[in-house]
Amino acid sequence: MADTPISSSGALRASGYAESSIRVLKGLEPVKQRPGMYTRTDNPLHIVQEVLDNAADEALAGFGKRIRVTLHADGSVSVEDDGRGIPHGIHPEENAPVLELVFTRLHAGGKFDKGKGGAYSFSGGLHGVGVSVTNALSTRLEVTSYREGHVAHMAFAGGDVVAPLTRRPAADGDRKQGTTVRVWPDPKYFESASLPAAELVQLLRSKAVLMPGVTVTLVNEKNRETQSWQYKGGLRDYLQQTLHGEPLIPLFEGEGYADAGHDSFAEGEGAAWAVAFTEEGAPVRESYVNLIPTSAGGTHDSGLRDGLFQAVKSFIELHALLPKGVKLLPEDVFARASYVLSAKVLDPQFQGQIKERLNSRDAVRLVSSFVRPVLELWLNQHVDHGRRLAELVIRAAQSRQRASQKVEKRKGSGVAVLPGKLTDCESRDIAHNELFLVEGDSAGGSAKMGRDKEYQAILPLRGKVLNTWEVERDRLFANAEVHDIAVAIGVDPHGPDDEVDLSGLRYGKICILSDADVDGSHIQVLLLTLFFRHFPKLIEAGHVYVARPPLFRVDVPARGKKPAGKVYALDEGELTAILDKLRKDGVREGAWSISRFKGLGEMSAEQLWDTTLNPDTRRLLPVQLGAFDFAATEAQFSQLMGKGEAAARRELMERHGDAVEIDV
C-alpha cells in the first residue's frame, strides 16, 4: 500500500501530466488568454473607455478642464487631457518607472489609497485592472505625459515595452501639463474592430453632462468632423433635452453629499439627480458612479427607486389620497419615471470588470437617504404637483391590480391542488411574483424565513431532480418533484412548437436556487433540462432565472469611518479581489476572517435575504439561448443529458477537461 502514491505519480508522468505541466500566467498574459473576463469583446469601445475614465478622473478631482478624443485615419484612437500628467519617476518599491507600471501591471494605479492622501478621493471603480487591459489588447500603445516642465514618452506593443521611457525638458510648443494616450486596438481580440459611433458620442456627451464646465471634444480625421460638448446646466438641462413626452410635473432635481461628521458615509459620498414623470413615451434612464456609466443600473438605481417610492407613498398617506383596497408598490411610482443619476461612492464594487452594474450594498441606503427627504419636502411645498403625481401612481397601481385579478379569475376554475410544501406569496400580481425552487428542506426553511412574503414563494426540492431529457411528456407527472413544480408554476408541459396558454402562469420569475458547489450545479443543470425540454416557452418569454448565492463571506473590521461589515464573494476570483482591495485599503493582513458556506442551509435567513433574495443586492441571471439557436442548443443538451451519449460525453471531457476548474 505504501508504494501506491509513487506508482500513481509515475503513471501521471507517463501520461504527460507532471510538475512542468502547471503553467503560471504572469504580467498581462491572463488578459490575453481570457480577454472576456476583463473587458467587452464585441468591439474595442470599453478599452478606449478605460483611458477616457482616467482623463475624467483627473477632471473629477479638479485638475482638468478639457478632454479631447481623436479617431485617427489609421484606426487608432487618442485621448488627451490637461490633468496633472502621470508621474515620470521611478517607483520607490518596484524600482521601475511609474509610467511603465501603470500600463503593464494589473493591480497598479493612483486610486487605491482612498482617504490616506492618495491621488484621488473618488474614481471610477477599483478592480485594479484599468488601462493595463487596454495595453494588453492593443498592437501598439503610446503614452506622453507632460508634468513639472518635462515631457516623458513610452511605447508598448501587445503590453510589452518597445520604446523605453525617455524624458526631456518641455519645449515652447508643448502643453504645460496633461497626458496623451494613443491606442491601436488589436482586431484579433474583438468581434468588430471599429468603434460604435453612437455609443461613443453618448459616452462623451455624458461625461460633459456630469462634469459641468469641462469641455469634451471628438475629432474624426476620416471625415474631418469635430463635435464638442460643454454643459453648464448639468443634469436638468440634459434630461430636458432627451425626454420623450412632456413632463407631468416640473423636473425634480437635487443633490446631497455626506459631510465630515456623517455617521454612516465618508465625506463627499452621495448623489446628484434629475427626475421627470411623463404619461407617455419611453422612459429615459441613465445612471453613473464616479462618472462611469452603469448601463445595467445597480444598487444606486435601487436607492433612487426606494427614495422616490417612500417619499410619494408618504405624501399620499399624509393627504389620505389612497383609495380603499389599493396597495402601492415601488414599480407603480417608477414605471413613468425618467432620470439621470450621478452617484459618488468611495469604494465602488461592480459586477464584472466592465463595471456595467454597481453592486455596493451601502449605495441603496446612501442614495435613498438623500433623495427621500428632498422629494418629500418638495411635494409638500407644491401640493398641486404632488396630487397630480399621486393620481398617476394610483392609476398605475389600479391597472396593475385589475390585470392580476383577470388572470386569477381565468385560472380559478382549475382543479389542480397546490403542493403542500409550497409556501406561497400573498400577492396575486403575476408580473411581480417570484417562485424560488430551493435545494433541500433546510435551505427551504431559511428561504421561507428570509423572503418577502408579499411576492416571494418558496418550493423546497428533496434530493436530485429527475433527468427528464428522455422522459415522455405523459409520464412526467409520475415523478412527484416534477409534478409539484408544474402545478406550482400553473403551466402544463409543452414542446417548442406547441400553442401554449401562459395565462395560468402564477409567477413572473421562476428562480433556481441551489448551493454554490458541484452538487448545486448538478441540480441547476437538471432543472434547466426540465425547463428547456418540457417548458421551453417559459424560457423564451424570459420567466426562468438562476440565483447566484455566494460561496464565501469575509468579515471585515472597521476602517476609519467605515464600520465593520460583511462582504460576500461569489467564487475564489472575487474573494482574491476583495482581499487585494482590503490590503490596499490598509487593513492588516489576517485582521479579516473568511467563512466558506457549505450550502444554503448554513446561511441564516438574514444572510440569505441580503445575498440572494433581496432584489436590490442579489445576483439573478436570466436564462436565455446563448450563441446557439434552438436546434443547436437541443443537440448540445442531447449530447450532455442523453442516456446513449456516454461516448460523446467522454470525448468532450477529454477535449475540454483542462479548461474546467474542479471544486473537489
Annotated binding-site residue? 10: no
Annotated binding-site residue? 31: no
Annotated binding-site residue? 127: yes
| Active-site residue set | 439, 515, 517, 519
C-alpha cell, 436: 424560488
Annotated binding-site residue? 389: no
C-alpha cell, 481: 418533484
* Phi, psi of 234, deg, nearest 5: 65, -145
Please report how the helices 630-641 and 646-656 are oriented relative to each other, as an axis angle in degrees rounded to 10: 100
The C-alpha atoms of residue 299 and residue 306 are separated, in whole angstroms, by 10
Cβ count within 10 A of residue 591: 12
DSSP string, 482-520: HHHHHHHHT-----TTS---GGG---SEEEEE--SSHHH
The C-alpha atoms of residue 520 and residue 192 are separated, in whole angstroms, by 37
Which H, E and C letters describe 38-81, residue by residue?
CCCCCCCHHHHHHHHHHHHHHHHCCCCCEEEEEECCCCCEEEEE
Annotated binding-site residue? 130: yes
C-alpha cell, 120: 484621488
Annotated binding-site residue? 74: no
DSSP type of residue 122: S
Cβ count within 10 A of residue 630: 13
Annotated binding-site residue? 53: no
Annotated binding-site residue? 393: no
Q: Is 286 exposed, middle or buried (0-12, 13-18, 19+ CB in 10 A)?
A: buried
Q: Is 450 exposed, middle or buried (0-12, 13-18, 19+ CB in 10 A)?
A: buried
β pairing state of 215-220 and 66-71: parallel
Tell which phi-psi region holds residue 562, choosing left (phi > 0), alpha (psi between -120 and 50) or beta.
Answer: beta
Annotated binding-site residue? 17: yes
Annotated binding-site residue? 362: no
C-alpha cell, 183: 491606442
Annotated binding-site residue? 355: yes
Q: Dihedral of CA 248/249/251/257: which sign?
A: negative
Q: Binding site membership for ATP: which residues?
A: 17, 54, 81, 125-131, 355
Q: Binding site membership: which residues?
A: 17, 54, 81, 125-131, 355
